[in-house]
Amino acid sequence: MIGNAFLLISTLFIMACQTQQDNHYEARLVGGPCEGCEAVLEYDDRELNQVDTLPDFNNQGQKIKISGTIYENDGKTPAEDVILYVYHTNQEGIYEAKEDATGWGKQHGYIRGWMKTGKDGRYAFYTLKPAAYPDSSLPAHIHPTILEPNGKYYWLGSYHFAGDPLLTQAQIDPDDPRGGTSGYLSLQKKNGIWVGTRDFILGKNVPGYNH
């Protein structure tokens, strides 16, 4: 019994050390308050790659693909091992949660996903173009959050879509957009899917990023 207990304790200790080595950072929110940004941490690393298909993609709606490159602070070097988390409403403008939802899946709904960049800094995700909130002046949008390999995480401006009558000029062409680029997308149809592109620069216009 003592031997078995010692073996169990040793195994747990080794597993804890391995976890610390795998997650060799302390997650830290930067860029100001953000309710729900910690949802970026709710991932299983074994499942992440550069491309994700969100759970709604095979439902009825306008199929879209959004892709881009995430760059280091210099705006030129592709950023590797960056996690991008996205979530959005369903075709009724609701963050629809599943009955067994846990964590931020209860608030963000089931239409969400995580991608992790490779050496080329690329990411892409497939989903349906979301609907705007019911009885709201806000345009349809997709929320992105970044988690860097050093543990810094922060929100970025939403993806928006050309032609949305609810769009404002500030949403189309914002001053000093977080991540360095506007989220305004002009989708083009290719092979039956509407395609848009948006790149990011890590920490660009994110307050307190270098502190």
CA distance 80 to 67: 15
pTM, two decimals, is 0.88
Other C-beta atoms closer than 10 Å to the C-beta of 27 total 15
Which residues are CB-contacts of 92 (< 8 A; sequence separation ≥ 6)?
A: 131, 134
User: Which pLDDT tens digits describe the chain residue by residue (211 residues)?
Assistant: 444 443 433 433 333 344 333 455 799 999 999 999 999 999 987 789 999 999 999 999 999 999 999 999 999 999 999 999 999 999 999 999 999 999 999 999 999 999 999 999 999 999 999 999 999 999 999 999 999 999 999 999 999 999 999 999 999 999 999 999 999 999 999 999 999 999 999 999 999 999 7
- SS3 call for 114: strand
- For position 44, what pLDDT does the model report? 82
Q: Which CATH code of 3.30.1360.120, 2.60.130.10, 3.40.920.10, 3.40.190.10 fits the domain covering 27-201? A: 2.60.130.10
- For position 24, what pLDDT does the model report? 55
User: Considering Cα of 84, then 89, then 91, then 97, what sign does the dihedral take?
Assistant: positive
How far is CA 37 from its chain centroid? Answer: 9
